[in-house]
Amino acid sequence: MDNEPKKIFTPDWLITPYLLFEDNRITAIERTVFGVIYWYERMKDGKCTAGNDTIAHVAKSTPGAVQNALNQLEKCGYIMRTYKDASRRTRKEIKTLIAFAKVPPRGGMVPPTGDTYVPPTGGQNKNSDIKNNNTVAATPRTVSKSKYDDKTPMLLDDFIVWCNKSPQRHINLIGDYAAAKKPNFQTKGQWYAFMDRYLRVARRLSPFTDEQIEGAAKKVHGADWMTRWTLETVEKFLVA
């Protein structure tokens, strides 16, 4: 029994960000390897410690091709490898540097006042899941059209001032992130969606000091990191 090969579980799905499809430097095997790493990060351990042989088995490739893929993904800034020793011979973990977040076209959000928006039907927004034969169907959330469909003009500077007026630190952080990233949104509805996208991670970042967040930001990609990465990327470095 001891000589029997260890069973390697495989995923039902692999998730790959579209950014990797847009990047001409990234090949199909590199996208697959990224998806395998991300899958491992969502398992019980919450991190990818798999060796190249294991990743190759899941990706239907070879250890050598996996090593080349990891080198390219890290070179392009999509993953980060940590090691147990200074010689970088024994790998400790592989971390993806792109976070996934599903942002519904219409969904509840928390304005700078901190009040949770409640739709006209009453109660907090909740997804109703219908399970049948291992299939989950999510019922779209219902919200007022006066939020995401709000066409009232609002530019970047207006949004930053709006966030800075909030007494809540996580809202301030979203404003700081907008100031650094400079998205070209023109209406309140667009900014509502932007805020909803980053509310959760901003709340998780709020206990950290400005110095800690700035230090993690510098580790990501130099002075222009926020034009390429997200608040979730910074969070990964803070909790590393």
CA-to-CA separations, 211 to 99, 185, 208, 214, in angstroms, rounded: 23, 29, 8, 5
Q: Do residues 71 and 160 share a domain?
A: no
Task: Report the pLDDT value the prediction gives residue 62, as an integer from 0 to 100.
Answer: 96
Give me 102's structure tokens. Answer: 């599903």
Give me 194's structure tokens. Answer: 């932007």
Tell me, yes or no, whether 116 lies in a domain. Answer: no
Domain count, the chain: 2
Tell me, yes or no, whether 161 lies in a domain. Answer: yes
CA-to-CA separations, 229 to 43, 61, 64, 237, in angstroms, rounded: 23, 29, 29, 12
Tell me, yes or no, whether 171 lies in a domain. Answer: yes
- Mean pLDDT computed over 156-176: 88
Query: SS3 for 86?
Result: coil
Q: Do residues 92 and 143 share a domain?
A: no
Tell me, yes or no, whether 107 lies in a domain. Answer: no
Q: Do residues 162 and 79 share a domain?
A: no
Please, are residues 177 and 231 in contact by the beta-carbon 8 Å criterion? yes
pTM for the structure as a whole: 0.47
Distance CA 36, CA 66 (A): 11
Q: Do residues 83 and 166 share a domain?
A: no
pLDDT in tens, 35-94: 999 999 888 888 899 999 999 999 999 999 999 999 999 888 888 888 888 888 889 999
**Domain extent at residue 39:** 18-96
Tell me, yes or no, whether 78 lies in a domain. Answer: yes
Task: Report the pLDDT value the prediction gives residue 100, as an integer from 0 to 100.
Answer: 58
| Look-up of token digits 């500077």 | 157
**Residue that finishes a domain, picked among 55, 77, 96:** 96
First to last CA, the chain: 38
Tell me, yes or no, whether 190 lies in a domain. Answer: yes
pLDDT in tens, 180-223: 889 999 988 899 888 888 888 888 888 888 888 888 877 765 54
CATH assignment of the domain containing 29: 1.10.10.10
Tell me, yes or no, whether 7 lies in a domain. Answer: no
